[in-house]
Amino acid sequence: MKLAIPLLLLLLAVPVAAQAKPWLGIKAEVVEAAEANRLGIEGGLKVTRVDKGSPAAVAGVEVGDIVLSAGEKTVKTIEDMQSVMAGMRAGDFLSLGVRRANGRNEPLLVTMGSENDKDDKFKDDNRVKELRERLRELDSERRRVQDELDERLRQLREGKANPETQPQPERPQPETPESPKPEAKPIERTEVKVTLGASFKNLGVEDARKIGLEGGVTVTEVSQGGPAAEAGLQAGDVISHVGGEAVTGTGDLRTILARHKAGDAIELSLLRNGKRQKLTVVLRAR
């Protein structure tokens, strides 16, 4: 007997930050052993519903797809998916390996949403979209800084780093009534309408230091026939700059891509097997 369990409901049992519960927006069921054998796979989660306008729908997930992997983890059970989602927050990128109904395996990159986005009659308002996208970016940046802090504390505890001290900065003087107030900068729209045709993950702080970078993203998958594949990008490449701008994580990558349109040529600076290279990718519409 098949047991269909909505993943978006299962996430409620995962302890994540209350202000940004992740939302994928699919319903799926475990692939039974007989069907897995017929398809020649070890197992997976078969998508039975994709919520309209959900992160999964935007990324291209379709009913009938079988999720084989999430991030770097093979997915065979609901518990496998839960363990991956437990470390996610709204705004994070999640790479999914899916088997299409036509038998092809494809990588998809999902930008996790927030449960606050569900069932909202104002979700189509442009200003609401802009603010929610900005919140996702801030949450993703907070996550990156938290990871860096955790790594630094670990190094200090294990004696692998020396404490650094520096003079305390001077406290700013109170603003006088005559002082002009700085203009509030408009919130930048971060809706991504283009794709590189590849999946990425943040480069760990320790790994970045080992190869002499301040940060970057590692290519985990490259879609066959996509723009990244045509440009020569490979899994394992570490991207440090996109269009001349430093990339310290997937949040930076998303922000840069949001400023481009289909047909734009963008230069990638990367490290491959210890050697620096540059590739030019022509972006396509999502």
Q: Please state whether 143 falls in left (phi above 0), alpha (psi between -120 and 50) or beta.
A: alpha
**Fold adopted by 194-285:** Pdz3 Domain (2.30.42)
**pLDDT above 60: residue 65:** yes
Alpha carbon distance, N-terminus to C-terminus of the chain: 37
Element (DSSP H or E) covering residue 171: none
pLDDT digits (tens, 9 = 90+) for 228-239: 999 999 999 999
Query: Considering only the top CATH level, what class is 4-117?
Result: mainly beta
**pLDDT above 80: residue 132:** no
**pLDDT above 70: residue 17:** no
Q: Please answer whether residues 18 and 50 qualify as being in contact, where contact means their C-beta atoms are separated by less than 8 angstroms.
A: no
pLDDT digits (tens, 9 = 90+) for 84-126: 888 788 778 888 999 998 888 888 888 888 777 666 655 667 7
Q: How high is the pLDDT of residue 120?
A: 63
State the SS3 of 36-68.
HHHHCCCCCEEEEEECCCCHHHHHCCCCCCEEE
Q: Please answer whether residues 233 and 211 qualify as being in contact, where contact means their C-beta atoms are separated by less than 8 angstroms.
A: no
Q: How high is the pLDDT of residue 208?
A: 81
Q: State the span(s) of the chain assigned CATH 2.30.42.10.
A: 4-117, 194-285
